[in-house]
C-alpha cells in the first residue's frame, strides 16, 4: 500500500513545475549574484533559493489555487517533488560548479604573465581539450565588451569534455547515498534537520503556516533584513549590525561574533550534544591557535590558501578526523553494506530495495563503474594513475564526511578543514606527481576545492523528503538528474552571457579575480619549490584520526558523553569561526527549553525557529526583486 501511494505521488505536472523552478533558479541566480550583486541564494547546503521559491509556491501560488479549485491544487507529495528538484538545481550555479569551472578554466590563460611564469610552467602541461586557449576570447570573458557575444566555438569543446567527469561524479554521489540511505535513516536514525522545514510547510494535518509563532519568527529576520536593505538605499536609515570582530591574543586572532537567523533555525533542530561540541571545539581551537601565535609556534607549508581553515596544523588534524569519521561510519554500516553487496551479486533475495531511488545492484555497480570512469578521465587529464586513486579516495572521503556532518548536525553552512588535491601532494610529495600531474590537480579545483554544496547532500536530503512525504523513489532519481542537467545548461549559458557583456572581473571579485588564481598559484609554487611527503602532516593527520577515534569510542561506550565527534572534525574551519556564536545561542536556548519545558515546549517553539529560516530567505529574495526594478547594486543582506 505504501509503495502504491508513493507511485501516485510523482506526477508529470510536479516534474514539469520542478523543471521550470529549477530553470528559474539556475538562470536568475547568476544575474542576482553578478549583476544585482545581492544576497547569495545557492551558495550552501541551506539552499535559500529553493526555500524562497518554495514559500512563494506553497503560500501564494498553491494557496490561491486551492481557493479556486481545491481538487486540482498541488498535493503535498507533488510539492515535495518540486522542492527536491530545486535543491538539486541549487547545487550547480555557484560554488557547486558553474562559478568555479568557467573562471578557473579561463584564469590559467588570462592571469598568466612573466612574473608568475604560468605560460612557461603550466601551459605546456595543460591538456589542450580541457580549457579555452583563445586569448582574445578569454580576455573578453574577464573584461567584457558592449555587444560582445559568447564565442561558443571556444567554450563548447572544453565544457563538453568536462561533462563525462561531472555527470559521472554526480551519479556516483547519488548512488552512494542510495547505498547508505537505510543505514542513516532507519538504523542510525540521523536527525536530518535541513529537511524538516519543507515537510512542515506541506503538513496539512498541523499546518505550519497557520501558527502565529511561525509568522513571528518570519517577521523578525524579514524586518531586520529590510532595515539593512533600506540602509543600503539610504544610509540615514538605521540598521542593526549582525557581526563584530574582536582582536584577541595580541591581535593575532580576530574573534568573530556573528548572528545568523537561518542558522539559528537549523541548529535548533539538531541534537544538543552535536551543538555543544561544535561551539566548544571551535572555541578550544581558537584559544590554542591564539597561544601558539603569541609564542611564535607555526608550520610553514604551501597548502593552497585558506580553504577550510587558514591554520596549517588544523588542516591536517581536520583531515585525520574526517578520515576516521568515514572509517567509523563504514564500520558501523558493515552489516548493511554486506546486505547491499549480497543483493548486488544476486545472493540477497531477502534484501528489499524496492523503496530506493536506485536498486542496490544499479547503485553498487554504478558506483564501481562511475569511479572507474572518473579515474580514467582524471588520468587522461594528466594525473598519474596511482595518484588518481589516492586523490579520488581523499575527495570522496571529504564529500561523504561533510554530508554526514550536515545530515547529523544541521550545519547547513559547512566546509572541510582541507581539500583533496592539496592533501594528495602533501601526503606523497610533489615530485612523484610530476608537473603534468600537478597541473591536472589544479584543474580539480573546479569541483573539489571551494565546495560548500554537493549533489551528495542534496540527494540524501531528497531521499529523506521522499521517504517522509510518500514520493515515488525510482522516478525521483530521474527528476533530480533532470534538475541537475537543466541547472548546468542554464547557469553556464547565463554566466557566459553576463561575463561577455559586463566582464567577469567586474561581477564578483572572489569568483573571477581571487578564487580562480589560487589553484595555479599553488601548482606553480610546487613546480618552483618541489616538496617531499610531509612528515609533520602525517603525524598531525594520525593524531587527528586518533582523537576522533577516541571521541567516537567514548560516545559509543558512555551514555551522556558530552563531546560529539563532529565538533572536533569541523570545529576548526573558518565557517565555524563565523557561526559559533549562533550555534552557542541555539544550544543554550534548546537546553533551557528542554530542561524546563520538556518536549512539549520544544514542539510548541519549533514554528518560531522555522520561521527564522523562511523569513531570512524570503527577505533575501524579496529585495533581489526590488533591486532589479530599482536598479540598485550591492544590496547584500545575507551571506551566512
First CA to last CA distance, the chain: 43
| pLDDT (0 to 100) of residue 304 | 82
Mean pLDDT, rounded, for 376-392? 98
Residue 3 in this model has a pLDDT that exceeds 70: no
Give the pLDDT band (50/70/90) at residue 368.
Answer: very high
SS3 label, residue 383: coil
| pLDDT (0 to 100) of residue 252 | 87
Nearest in space to 48 (alpha carbons), one of 268, 262, 255, 247: 262
Q: Is residue 252, in this structure, part of any structural domain at all?
A: yes
Residue 472 in this model has a pLDDT that exceeds 80: no
Q: Is residue 563, in this structure, part of any structural domain at all?
A: yes
HEC secondary structure over 515-532: HHHHHHHHHHHHHHCCCC
CA distance 57 to 66: 12
Predicted model pTM: 0.95
Tell me the CA distances in angstroms from 261 to 80, 265, 619, one per residue in order. Answer: 24, 7, 12
Mean pLDDT, rounded, for 385-409? 97
The length of the chain in residues reads 640
Residue with cell 532595515: 227
Q: Is residue 131, in this structure, part of any structural domain at all?
A: no
Instruction: Say how many C-beta atoms besides its own lie within 10 A of residue 119's C-beta.
Output: 13
Give the pLDDT band (50/70/90) at residue 9.
Answer: low
CA distance 60 to 146: 39
CA distance 435 to 384: 10
Mean pLDDT, rounded, for 505-518? 95
522: cell is 599553488
The pair phi, psi for residue 244, each rounded to 5°, is -140, 140
| pLDDT (0 to 100) of residue 473 | 77
Nearest in space to 406 (alpha carbons), one of 453, 340, 468: 453
List pLDDT tens digits, range 67-121: 999 999 999 999 999 999 999 999 999 999 999 999 999 999 999 999 999 999 9
Residue 237 in this model has a pLDDT that exceeds 80: yes
Mean pLDDT, rounded, for 463-486? 92
Q: Is residue 637, in this structure, part of any structural domain at all?
A: no
| pLDDT (0 to 100) of residue 610 | 98
Answer with the residue of higher pLDDT: 51 or 249: 51
Q: Is residue 129, in this structure, part of any structural domain at all?
A: no
- Contacts of 329 by beta carbon, 8 Å cutoff, 6+ apart: 400, 404
CA distance 345 to 351: 12
Residue 1 in this model has a pLDDT that exceeds 70: no
Tell me the CA distances in angstroms from 409 to 190, 211, 239, 418, one per residue in order. Answer: 9, 26, 31, 20
Residue 8 in this model has a pLDDT that exceeds 60: no
List pLDDT tens digits, range 312-359: 999 999 999 999 999 999 999 999 999 999 999 999 889 999 889 999
Query: Could you say which DSSP state residue 11 is in?
Result: -
| pLDDT (0 to 100) of residue 4 | 38
Strand 253-258 versus strand 243-248 pairing type = antiparallel
List pLDDT tens digits, range 147-165: 899 999 999 999 999 999 9
Residue 6 in this model has a pLDDT that exceeds 50: no
Mean pLDDT, rounded, for 272-301? 93
Question: What b/e sequence results for 600-612 when a residue is b if at least 16 CB atoms lie within 10 Å of its CB, and e otherwise?
Answer: eeeeebbbbbbbb
Domain count, the chain: 1
Helix H or strand E segment including 243: strand 243-248
| pLDDT (0 to 100) of residue 306 | 76
| pLDDT (0 to 100) of residue 470 | 86
396: cell is 570522496
What Rg do the C-alpha atoms of the chain give, in angstroms? Answer: 24
Structural domain containing residue 452? 2-119+143-630
Average per-residue pLDDT for the chain = 94
C-alpha 444, offset from chain centre: 16
Helix H or strand E segment including 103: helix 98-110
Q: Is residue 126, in this structure, part of any structural domain at all?
A: no
Q: Is residue 532, in this structure, part of any structural domain at all?
A: yes
Residues pairing with 245 in the sheet: 256
| pLDDT (0 to 100) of residue 325 | 97
Give the pLDDT band (50/70/90) at residue 305.
Answer: confident
Mean pLDDT, rounded, for 214-242? 94
Q: Is residue 176, in this structure, part of any structural domain at all?
A: yes
Amino acid at each position: 500500500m505504501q509503495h502504491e501511494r508513493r507511485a501516485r505521488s510523482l506526477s508529470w505536472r510536479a516534474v514539469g513545475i520542478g523543471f521550470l523552478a529549477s530553470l528559474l533558479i539556475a538562470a536568475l541566480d547568476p544575474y542576482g549574484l553578478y549583476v544585482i550583486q545581492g544576497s547569495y541564494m545557492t551558495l550552501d547546503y541551506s539552499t535559500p533559493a529553493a526555500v524562497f521559491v518554495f514559500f512563494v509556491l506553497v503560500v501564494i501560488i498553491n494557496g490561491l489555487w486551492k481557493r479556486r479549485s481545491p481538487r486540482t491544487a498541488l498535493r503535498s507529495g507533488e510539492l515535495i517533488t518540486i522542492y527536491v528538484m530545486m535543491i538539486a538545481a541549487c547545487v550547480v550555479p555557484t560554488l557547486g560548479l558553474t562559478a568555479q569551472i568557467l573562471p578557473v578554466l579561463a584564469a590559467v590563460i588570462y592571469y598568466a604573465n612573466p612574473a608568475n611564469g604560468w605560460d612557461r610552467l603550466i601551459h605546456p602541461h595543460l591538456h589542450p581539450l580541457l580549457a579555452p586557449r583563445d586569448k582574445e576570447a578569454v580576455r573578453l570573458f574577464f573584461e567584457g565588451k558592449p555587444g560582445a557575444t559568447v564565442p561558443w566555438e571556444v567554450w563548447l569543446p572544453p565544457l563538453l569534455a568536462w561533462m563525462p567527469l561531472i555527470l559521472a561524479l554526480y551519479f556516483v554521489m547519488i548512488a552512494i547515498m542510495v547505498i547508505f540511505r537505510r543505514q542513516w535513516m532507519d538504523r542510525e536514525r540521523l536527525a536530518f534537520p535541513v529537511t524538516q522545514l519543507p515537510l512542515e510547510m506541506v503538513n496539512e494535518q498541523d499546518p505550519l503556516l497557520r501558527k502565529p509563532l511561525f509568522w513571528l519568527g518570519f517577521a523578525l529576520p524579514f524586518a531586520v533584513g529590510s532595515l539593512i536593505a533600506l540602509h543600503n538605499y539610504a544610509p540615514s536609515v538605521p540598521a542593526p549590525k549582525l557581526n563584530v570582530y574582536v582582536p584577541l591574543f595580541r591581535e593575532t586572532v580576530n574573534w568573530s561574533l556573528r548572528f545568523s537567523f537561518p542558522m539559528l533555525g537549523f541548529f535548533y533542530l539538531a541534537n544538543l550534544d552535536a551543538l555543544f561540541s561544535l561551539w566548544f571545539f571551535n572555541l578550544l581551537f581558537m584559544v590554542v591557535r591564539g597561544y601558539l601565535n603569541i609564542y611564535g609556534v607555526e608550520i610553514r607549508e604551501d597548502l593552497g590558501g585558506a580553504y577550510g581553515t587558514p591554520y596549517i596544523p588544523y588542516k591536517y588534524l581536520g583531515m585525520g578526523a574526517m578520515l576516521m569519521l568515514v572509517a567509523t561510519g563504514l564500520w558501523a554500516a558493515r552489516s548493511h553494506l554486506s546486505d547491499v553487496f549480497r543483493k548486488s551479486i544476486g545472493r540477497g533475495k531477502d534484501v528489499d530495495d524496492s523503496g530506493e531511488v536506485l536498486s542496490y545492484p544499479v547503485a553498487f555497480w554504478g558506483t564501481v563503474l562511475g569511479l572507474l570512469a572518473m579515474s580514467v578521465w582524471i588520468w587522461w587529464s594528466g594525473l598519474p594513475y596511482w595518484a588518481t586513486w589516492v586523490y579520488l579516495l581523499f575527495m570522496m572521503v571529504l564529500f561523504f564526511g561533510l554530508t554526514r556532518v550536515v545530515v547529523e548536525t544541521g550545519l547547513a553552512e559547512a566546509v572541510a578543514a582541507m581539500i583533496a588535491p592539496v592533501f594528495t601532494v602533501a601526503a606523497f610529495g610533489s615530485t612523484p606527481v610530476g608537473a603534468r600531474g600537478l597541473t591536472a590537480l589544479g584543474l580539480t579545483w573546479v569541483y573539489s576545492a571551494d565546495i560548500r554544496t554537493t549533489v551528495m547532500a542534496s540527494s540524501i536530503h531528497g531521499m529523506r523528503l521522499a521517504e517522509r512525504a510518500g514520493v515515488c523513489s525510482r522516478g525521483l532519481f530521474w527528476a533530480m538528474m533532470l534538475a541537475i542537467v537543466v541547472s548546468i545548461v542554464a547557469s553556464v549559458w547565463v554566466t557566459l552571457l553576463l561575463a561577455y557583456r559586463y566582464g567577469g572581473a567586474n561581477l564578483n571579485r572572489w569568483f573571477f579575480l581571487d578564487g580562480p588564481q589560487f589553484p595555479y598559484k599553488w601548482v606553480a609554487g610546487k613546480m618552483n619549490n618541489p616538496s617531499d611527503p610531509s612528515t609533520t602532516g602525517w603525524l598531525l593527520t594520525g593524531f587527528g584520526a586518533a582523537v576522533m577515534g577516541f571521541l567516537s569510542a567514548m560516545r559509543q561506550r558512555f551514555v551522556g558523553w558530552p563531546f560529539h565527534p563532529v565538533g572536533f572534525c569541523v570545529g576548526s574551519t573558518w565557517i565555524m569561526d563565523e557561526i559559533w556564536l549562533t550555534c552557542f545561542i541555539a544550544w543554550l536556548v534548546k537546553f533551557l527549553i528542554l530542561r524546563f519545558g520538556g518536549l512539549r515546549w520544544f514542539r510548541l517553539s519549533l514554528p518560531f525557529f522555522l520561521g527564522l529560516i523562511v523569513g531570512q530567505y524570503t527577505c533575501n529574495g524579496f529585495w533581489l526583486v526590488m533591486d532589479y526594478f530599482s536598479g540598485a547594486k550591492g544590496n547584500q543582506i545575507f551571506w551566512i
